[in-house]
């Protein structure tokens, strides 16, 4: 049996990674800075990691993290060393929850994982495959956003777009699986992936069947908002009414994106047009040029619908209102004159036909986050959250509760909570009073603006 990297001693294993799952947009993610992709240990099947280097993260303390000059990671298995079930069991014994692979290996890991699942006869293969594609896409885009020029020039973006196009052409139902796998948080990486993957599905439904064309459409969606990287985060995230000059900065992102992409001849022309025109509207009320009707590129019209839908349904701490799916569709219908009616009608039909619920987020969650059995409702209220250690609460912190179901609650706040921790949650909502919700953290994702999204699965509800 092959052994782990010889430089990794037993003591190092004990001090390796019990990681807060720091994925998300921009330079805030430690793993992203290191060019590494976190994989839940439960999902790190030996066959899926064949020929891929496997890394561990040296555990952080509560008062210290690796600085920008430190990688904070150590090589565990080299590419010529098999990562076996024994290795995985050994890591699990020492409390390791995540391993890491290089972002350049992400698509290979994705393909090999699907191959392993097929051979093992896993149930719900299509749903799991869609979740894997989606999560890999978000991680890749998050990493590439650290350097916009690398994102534009990267072969990985083209490869990823090709994978998504292939999936959609192979199975028209793939959109439904992608739709339920999506995160509705409107942070740059997830928004770009949502728009890119949904545009491919919508275009295919509209009759686009050429693989190369669909791959280019996916790239267009992934790159449509790249101009926003020129807008200061404090302006993009501002809760108060924007000043005229701030609004002009935001409106300028489409032209800035077009000018930036135009520097690179390898970027498809359709991607440049979409970056420029995705805020144009059929009735001439859009920007930057006030184009009308057929003056707007057909794929820009596709992007306009999908982009608007994701913006309305996304949850952000600074938003006063988040639309439900039905409310967003109704709003699009009400504003129908602004959109291509054929595109809009097709999108509405697709969304209404998509299954409800959510599938497993591979690489971002603990094994318990394997699917949502109960319908999730939108919610916006304050929440007091207590970390429970050895059956006693350790202080409390304030979060925003943004969704809830019979099985769990979603929280947004400036503090991370490690997956696996037990918490008590008290909601500031009518009818909840001092009711205590007890659960286990199954997901924690970090974003560039310093916010964390924390998913809690209930283990007990006091007074239920």
Q: What is the pLDDT of residues 407-461, one digit of tens each?
A: 888 888 777 787 888 888 988 776 666 688 899 998 887 654 456 788 899 986 5
Q: How confident is the model at residue 394 (pLDDT cuts 50, 70, 90)?
A: low
Residues 6+ apart with CB under 8 A from 194: 182, 183, 184, 306, 310
The per-residue pLDDT for 200 is 94
Percent of the chain with pLDDT strictly greater than 90: 25
Burial (0-12, 13-18, 19+ Cβ within 10 Å), 349: exposed
Write down the pLDDT at residue 256.
Answer: 94
- CATH code for 123-353? 1.10.3210.10
> What is the 8-class DSSP label of residue 240?
S
Using pLDDT thresholds of 50, 70 and 90, give the confidence band for residue 376.
low
Distance CA 431, CA 396 (A): 21
Q: What is the mean pLDDT of residues 8-34?
A: 31
Highest mean pLDDT among 50-54, 76-80, 333-337: 333-337
Render the burial of 420-434: b for 16+ CB within 10 Å, e for the rest. ebbbbbbbeeeebee
Instruction: Check residue 322 and report its DSSP letter.
Output: -
Residue 105: in which H helix or E strand, if any? none
pLDDT of 13:
32
pLDDT (0 to 100) of residue 456: 92
| Residue 382 pLDDT class (50, 70, 90 cuts) | confident
Summarize the confidence of residues 175-199 as an average pLDDT: 72
Residue 8: per-residue pLDDT: 36
Amino acid 181: pLDDT: 55
pLDDT band at 158, cuts 50/70/90? Answer: confident
Residue 15: CB atoms within 10 A of its CB come to 12
Q: Enter the DSSP assignment of 439.
A: E
pLDDT band at 146 (very low <50, low <70, confident <90, very high): low
Q: Is the dihedral of CA 445, 223, 327, 134 positive or negative?
A: negative
pLDDT attached to residue 64: 39
With the C-alpha atoms ordered 240, 246, 247, 250, is the resulting torsion angle positive or negative?
A: negative
- C-alpha 406/C-alpha 374 separation (Å) is 6
Rounded Cα–Cα distance for residues 362 and 376 (Å): 20
Please report how the helices 125-144 and 106-119 are oriented relative to each other, as an axis angle in degrees rounded to 10. 170
Confidence of residue 185 (pLDDT cuts 50, 70, 90): very low
216 DSSP 8-state letter: H
The two tokens of residue 400 are: 């925003």
Every domain range in the chain assigned CATH 2.40.10.220? 377-461
Question: Average pLDDT, stretch 337-348?
Answer: 97
Q: What is the pLDDT of residue 375?
A: 53
Residue 347 pLDDT greater than 80, yes or no? yes
pLDDT at position 217, please? Answer: 97
Residues 356-369: tens digit of each pLDDT: 433 223 233 333 34
Task: Work out the burial of residue 267: count CB atoms within 10 Å of its CB; fewer than 13 is exposed, 13-18 middle, 19 or more buried.
Answer: buried
Mean of all residue pLDDT scores within the chain: 74
pLDDT for res 293: 95
Q: Which helix (H) or strand (E) holds 97?
A: none
For 360, phi then psi, to 5°, come to: -65, 135
8 Å CB contact between 386 and 380: no
Specify the range with the lowest mean pLDDT, choosing from 27-36, 74-83, 375-384: 27-36
Query: 255 or 158, which is more confident?
Result: 255
Higher pLDDT: 42 or 272? It is 272
Torsion of CA 210, 213, 352, 357, to 10 degrees: 100
Q: How far apart are CA 334 and CA 337, in angstroms?
A: 8
Pick the CATH number of 377-461 from 2.40.10.220, 1.10.10.10, 2.170.190.11, 3.40.50.620: 2.40.10.220
Name the segment(s) of the chain with CATH classification 1.10.3210.10.
123-353
236 CB contacts (<8 Å, ≥6 apart)?
Answer: 228, 250
The answer, yes or no, to whether residue 123 has pLDDT greater than 70, is no
H or E, element range at 244:
helix 244-251
Task: Pick left, alpha or beta for residue 379 (phi over 0 → left; psi -120 to 50 → alpha; otherwise beta).
Answer: beta
- What pLDDT score does 57 carry? 73
The neighbouring-strand residues paired with 452 are 413, 446
Summarised one tens digit per residue, pLDDT across range 77-120 is 888 888 888 888 888 887 777 788 887 787 778 778 777 777 76
The Cα 409–Cα 311 span in angstroms is: 21
Does residue 297 or residue 166 have the better pLDDT? Answer: 297
């Amino acid at each position: 049996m092959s052994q782990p990297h010889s430089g990794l001693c037993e003591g190092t294993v004990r001090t390796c990674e019990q990681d807060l799952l720091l994925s998300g947009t921009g330079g805030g993610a430690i793993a992203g800075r290191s060019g590494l992709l976190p994989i839940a240990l439960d999902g790190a099947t030996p066959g899926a990691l064949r020929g891929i280097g496997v890394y561990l993260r040296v555990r952080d303390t509560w008062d210290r993290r690796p600085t920008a000059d430190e990688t904070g990671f150590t090589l565990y298995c080299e590419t010529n060393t098999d990562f076996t079930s024994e290795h995985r069991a050994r890591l699990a014994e020492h409390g390791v929850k995540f391993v890491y692979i290089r972002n350049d290996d992400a698509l290979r890991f994705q393909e090999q994982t699907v191959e392993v699942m097929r051979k093992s006869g896993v149930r719900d293969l299509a749903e799991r495959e869609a979740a894997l594609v989606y999560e890999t896409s978000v991680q890749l885009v998050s990493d590439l956003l650290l350097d916009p020029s690398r994102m534009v020039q990267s072969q990985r973006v083209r490869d990823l777009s090709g994978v998504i196009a292939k999936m959609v052409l192979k199975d028209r139902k793939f959109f439904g699986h992608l739709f339920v796998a999506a995160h509705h948080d409107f942070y740059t990486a997830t928004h770009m992936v949502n728009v890119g993957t949904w545009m491919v599905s919508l275009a295919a439904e509209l009759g686009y069947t050429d693989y190369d064309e669909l791959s280019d459409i996916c790239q267009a969606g992934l790159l449509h908002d790249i101009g926003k990287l020129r807008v200061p985060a404090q302006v993009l995230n501002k809760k108060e009414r924007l000043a005229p000059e701030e609004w002009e900065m935001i409106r300028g992102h489409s032209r800035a994106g077009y000018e930036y992409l135009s520097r690179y001849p390898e970027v498809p022309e359709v991607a440049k047009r979409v970056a420029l025109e995705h805020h144009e509207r059929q009735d001439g009320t859009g920007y930057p040029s006030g184009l009308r009707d057929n003056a707007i590129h057909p794929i820009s019209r596709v992007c306009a619908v999908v982009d608007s839908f994701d913006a309305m349904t996304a949850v952000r701490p600074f938003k006063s209102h988040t639309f439900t799916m039905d409310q967003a569709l109704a709003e699009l219908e009400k504003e129908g004159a602004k959109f291509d009616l054929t595109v809009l009608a097709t999108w509405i039909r697709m969304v209404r036909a998509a299954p409800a619920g959510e599938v497993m987020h591979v690489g971002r969650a603990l094994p318990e986050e394997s699917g949502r059995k109960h319908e999730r409702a939108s919610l916006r209220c304050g929440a007091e959250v207590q970390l429970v250690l050895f059956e006693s609460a350790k202080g409390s912190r304030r979060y925003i509760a943004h969704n809830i179901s019979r099985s769990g609650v979603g929280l947004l706040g400036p503090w991370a909570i490690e997956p696996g921790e037990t918490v008590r949650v008290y909601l500031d909502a009518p009818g909840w009073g001092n009711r205590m919700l007890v659960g286990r953290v199954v997901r924690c994702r970090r974003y560039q603006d310093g916010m964390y999204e924390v998913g809690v699965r209930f283990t007990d509800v006091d007074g239920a």
